[in-house]
Structure 1
Amino acid sequence: MVITEQQVRAAEARMKERVSRTPVAREAYFDQGTIVLILSDGKRFTFRPEQAQGLEDARPDDLRQIEISPLGDGLHFPALDADLSVPALLQGVFGSAAWMRSHP
């Protein structure tokens, strides 16, 4: 499959439009038992690690390093090999449907 330059430019334009409409993470850190996200629209979003699948049993040292994906739509916790979707978090989705049912 050959991808043309025009297709690449169109995809980049669609992504730029999506990012402009949806807040993404610009900064993320662990502070006093809470994960803090600073979003591209200036808002702050916080949650406790035990609320999120993959972080629920983490030690504070496991949460100190948080990597933000290049587009700002994902968080990676290297010490835990855990990933979270920023758009899902903002919608109140902190894990898979099965996990959410078992962690009210």
Structure 2
Amino acid sequence: MDSQHLSPSDADIAVARRKAAEGMESPSALEAVVATPARTLLLWFRNGTRLEIPLAAIVELATARQDDLREIAISPYRDSFSVPSIDVDIYVPGLVSSVLNSFNVRDFARLGGSKTSPKKRIAARANGKKGGRPKNAGTLGP
């Protein structure tokens, strides 16, 4: 059987370069270590950022023994890491997203909107005396 060598087209090269550039901008983990006394996972990223996550916040690692967490391997794409002793692979962007979104942004905004002050109470009473909040102009009939 004769195999032919196919050269990539200019379009293929452009796509590969674009994907490589996108990869440089994505969160790329360079190193992952478990800090023993605090039971936290330390992640170092390409841009110099260090993220510390309590193991209790990572479902896959929460009950792991300290001995099981001695070896952590970063994937070649730097987008995930493995803990071979317990056969766990964790996607880094998903981990970061789940940890940072554990306190929902909507809930956080609701906390701000639920605050009351003497000025808000006075304004609410004044609006009530006038018949409440004015109707939206879009809901008025013809």
Q: TM-score, normalised by structure 1?
A: 0.75
1:83 has 2:86 as partner: no
Distance in structure 2 (CA, Å) of the matches to 1:49 and 1:15: 32
Match of 1:13 among 17, 22, 29: 17
Q: Highest relative contact order (Cα 8 Å, sep 6+), 1 or 2?
A: 1
Gaps of 5+ in 1: 95-99
2:65 alignment partner, one of 41, 59, 74: 59
Q: Partner of 1:31 in structure 2? A: 35
More strand by share: 1
Q: TM-score, normalised by structure 2?
A: 0.57
Change over 3 Å in CA distance of 1:58–1:11 after alignment to 2: farther
More helix by share: 2
Q: Is the 8 A contact 1:66 1:78 kept in 2?
A: yes
- Listed one character per residue, the Cα deviations across residues 29-85 of structure 1 (whole Å, up to 9, x for unaligned) are 111211101000000011122211221210011111101000110010001111111
The one-letter amino acid paired with 2:83 is F
**Letter aligned with residue 62 of structure 1:** D
Percent identity at matched positions?
30
Whole-Å separation in 1 of the counterparts to 2:62 and 2:73: 18
Do the aligned residues in 2 keep the contact of 1:54 with 1:80 (CA within 8 Å)? no
How many residues matched? 92
